[in-house]
Amino acid sequence: MRKTRFGTVATMAAVAALALTSCGGGGGSEADGDKIRIGIKYDQPGLGFKDGDNYTGFDVDVAKYVAGELGYTEDQIEFISAPSANRETMLQNDQVDMIFATYSITDERNKVVDFAGPYFVAGQDLLVPNDSDIKGPEDLDGKNLCSVTGSTSAQKVKDNYAKNTNLQELPGYAECTTQMSGGTIDAVTTDDIILAGLAAQPAYQGKFKVVGAPFSEENYGVGLPDGTDKCADINAAITKMIESGEWQKALDKNTEGTGYKPNAETNPPTLSDTCA
């Protein structure tokens, strides 16, 4: 179904090009009269965050850029909440056209959906108070480590790095950072860019820092319906965003004041042939 919908958009673009002797420029977008539905997180500051009618974050900025390259103006974008547990279902049930929501590319997910990208390579890391002497997961023995309920991140630290870590699970990262601000939590763990987004919130600027020693690798991809014909176009848009410097601007804007620097060996990412 998605192929047909995107194909219709492409046909409209071709007709417009013949009539206006331009393609998506000047007089309007390739997708005039249509909308694109993009799934994002609503509750991850710095990545995907909804505040009233305003949507902010790195995922949002990349999504807007890619949509623009596909011929959509910002007012043609409909952002839809895409919780982690619902992402495959939303793509399969035609609830969204694509998803930018810290969506790691995995072989298991690739069996039921398609991916473009990656547009970012994250790694599990630690968020700690600015005056903390914790430099990596090995330093967490006897410390209180927080992550969200249902996440495997904290258990991974206990199993592989510091077996005497005291694990604390809370409903959300906001609760973890609140407790760390009060001194009852020593560190929070999840993907490094998510931690940077938390540290960039006005209430925590200058209080927390990302350790900067990632100990995993997560390739954030653009989730797409299985069988889509738009993967190559999206990869071309991501590549253009990186080469133009807009990718770096978006990253800097959304992590400013945190001291966060992504792994330079993997970022900006080199796009593999995920469209095969």
* DSSP assignment of 65-81: HHHHHTT--GGGEEEEE
Half-sphere exposure (Cβ direction) of 52: Cα atoms closer than 13 Å: 1
Q: Does residue 27 belong to any structural domain of this protein?
A: yes
Q: Which pLDDT does position 21 carry in this prediction? A: 37
Indicate whether 94 and 106 sit together in one domain. Answer: yes
pLDDT at 84: 87
At 10 the pLDDT is 40
| Lowest-confidence segment of 63-72, 186-195, 232-241, 249-258 by average pLDDT | 249-258
One domain for residues 232 and 108: yes
Structure tokens at 21: 């002797």
Q: What is the residue-averaged pLDDT of the chain?
A: 87
11 pLDDT higher than 80: no
Say what percent of the chain tops pLDDT 90: 67
Residues 250 and 116 in one domain: yes
pLDDT category, 129, cuts 50, 70, 90?
A: very high
Are residue 111 and residue 242 in the same domain, yes or no? yes
Give yes or no: residues 130 and 244 share one domain: no
Q: 138 and 104 share a domain?
A: no
Q: Is residue 170 one of the residues assigned to a domain?
A: yes
- Does the pLDDT of residue 22 top 70, yes or no? no
The whole domain housing 107 covers 2-122+218-255
Cα Rg of the chain (Å, integer): 20
State the CATH number of the domain containing residue 32: 3.40.190.10
Longest dimension (CA), the chain: 70
**Mean pLDDT computed over 55-84:** 97
Q: What is the mean pLDDT of residues 5-20?
A: 39
Same domain membership, residue 167 and residue 83: no
- The whole-angstrom distance between residue 66's C-alpha and the CA centroid of its chain comes to 13
**Do 100 and 203 reside in the same domain of the chain?**
no
Asked which of 153, 181, 210 is the last residue of a domain, the reply is: 210
Distance CA 202, CA 198 (A): 9
Domain total for the chain?
2
pLDDT value at residue 273: 66
Q: Please tell me whether residues 105 and 34 are part of one structural domain.
A: yes
> How far, in Å, CA of 64 to CA of 70, rounded?
10
Q: What is the pLDDT of residue 272?
A: 67
Note whether residue 98 is domain-resident.
Answer: yes
**Same domain, residue pair 117 and 168:** no
In this predicted model, what pLDDT tens digit does every residue of 70-125 receive, in sequence order?
Answer: 999 999 999 999 988 899 999 999 999 999 999 999 899 999 999 999 999 999 99
Given this model, what pLDDT does residue 13 score? 40
Q: Tell me, what's the pLDDT at 203?
A: 87
pLDDT at residue 267 in the model:
95
Residues 161-178 as b or e (16 or more Cβ within 10 Å = b): ebeebbebebeebebbbb
pLDDT at position 8, please? Answer: 40
Q: Report the relative pairing of strands 113-122 and 218-225 from DSSP bridges.
A: antiparallel
Looking at the structure, tell me whether residues 67 and 203 fall in a common domain.
Answer: no
Least confident of 48-52, 142-146, 165-169, 205-209: 205-209
Q: Are residues 92 and 224 in the same domain?
A: yes
